[in-house]
Structure formats: structure tokens, C-alpha cells
Amino acid sequence: MIKRAHTFCELRPKRAGVELAFKLSEELSHPRIRRVLPYATHRFAHFVMLSTPDDVDEEIAAWLEASYLDSPR
């Protein structure tokens, strides 16, 4: 888990790679996002599978930045 005041993202090892989960107050729809679950009132957990270090690109970095800035302080 990676935290600010609260957890804003998590990394979980899986057989196919690492699953990245991040939380936002808006629900994103994108082919890279494997699933979205309601997390709390007006918050959604988004899940992305990362297979190689190259999968962490500007798009992932932007989602993580948004999650960090959107997390409760």
C-alpha cells in the first residue's frame, strides 16, 4: 500500500505481473483498466495489470498523480 493520509494506491503481485489499484472520485473507463469497484461514497477503485516496467508510462503516472491529489488529506 502506498499512502498519503489514506491509501491512494496498492501493488499486488500476481502470476501475470503486478496488479495496480488506485482510487479516484470519478469512475474511469479505459481498455487498460480491468475492473472498477465502488470503494466508498463517491470513490472508485480502479485495477490495472502491469506485466513489464514499460507498462508504467505517462498515462499510469497521470492516474497515480490524480489519485494522490484526490486522496483525503
pLDDT of residue 6: 75
Q: What is the mean pLDDT of the chain?
A: 91
pLDDT the model gives residue 42: 86
Whole-model pTM: value is 0.88
| Cα four-point dihedral sign 21, 23, 27, 30 | negative
In sequence order, the 6+-apart residues with CB closer than 8 A to the CB of 49 are 14, 16, 17, 18, 19, 20, 34
Mean pLDDT confidence for 55-66: 95
Question: What confidence score (pLDDT) does residue 45 get?
Answer: 95
Write down the domain spans for the chain: 2-70
CB 61 within 8 A of CB 50: no
Residue 59 grid coordinates: 498515462
